[in-house]
Chains A and B, each alone.
Chain A
Amino acid sequence: NAGVTQTPKFQVLKTGQSMTLQCAQDMNHNSMYWYRQDPGMGLRLIYYSASEGTTDKGEVPNGYNVSRLNKREFSLRLESAAPSQTSVYFCASSYLSTDQAEAFFGQGTRLTVV
């Protein structure tokens, strides 16, 4: 099983450029998430999708948009990148029910905005 696959692994953008981070899971999970990880701040939730067809804002949604394309795929888009969006981005997925709420993570995308 591939688990959660994120692309790309590394990206450098100029301020104002746009890009889409891709995420796909093959575990038939209902819920998918995008987090950013910054030094000293742990993981902060950007957006999540509790089930196919729904998306909700997390703690730090400004400057981002998401699309739950189907049950497998959940993409994160930066429309106009800013240096403050330099971070490591993680996609994760989990079952919906609380008892099986373990989150599975991708390897991360290291994004630098210059």
Chain B
Amino acid sequence: GDSVTQMEGPVTLSEEAFLTINCTYTATGYPSLFWYVQYPGEGLQLLLKATKADDKGSNKGFEATYRKETTSFHLEKGSVQVSDSAVYFCALSSNTGGFKTIFGAGTRLFVKA
């Protein structure tokens, strides 16, 4: 079945460092890909998305490119801030075998001042 694998955390960075969180997926068909962010005590909220190969999603300085050839959707940010500390989830949405959204395990990011 469909699945999402993302790098284990926690990831600890200093402010202004470069961030990469790796995400790869397995899916039949052509899923949409997402990054969600969860701040402490809150539900998940959409950070960015890409709906087809080579699309780049971007928001709040974060970017991710839908790479069909490597089945990847890595999250990057050039300069992280303390306020970016959160848990980041990679996800795919597919209508194969029933429409549903599948999430990775999440990667916790700590940014130090």
Interface residues of A (CB under 8 A from B): 4, 31, 33, 35, 40-43, 45, 48, 50, 56, 58, 90, 92, 94, 96, 98-99, 101-108
Q: Is B79 an interface residue (CB 8 A)?
A: no
Q: Looking at the assembled complex, report how far the CB atom of A49 sits from the nearest CB atom of chain B, in whole angstroms.
A: 10
The interface size of chain B toward A, counting residues with CB under 8 Å, comes to 26
Considering the chains assembled together, what is the distance between the CA atoms of A109 and B105 in angstroms?
Answer: 19
Chain B residues with CB below 8 A from A99, complex form: 32, 51
Which among B49, B98, B99, B103 is the interface contact of A43 at CB below 8 angstroms? B103
Given known A-B contacts A42-B103, A42-B104, A45-B100, A101 and B44 have beta carbons under 8 A apart: no
Main secondary structure of the interface of B (DSSP, over half): strand
CA–CA, A101 and B91, complex, Å = 11
On chain B, the residues within 8 Å of A33 by CB distance are 100-101
Q: A43-B89, A92-B101 are in contact. Are A102 and B46 (CB under 8 A)?
A: yes
B99 touches A96 (CB 8 A): yes
B103's nearest neighbour on chain A, judged by CB, is: A43
Q: Which B53-107 residues sit within 8 Å CB-CB of chain A?
A: 89, 91, 93-95, 98-106
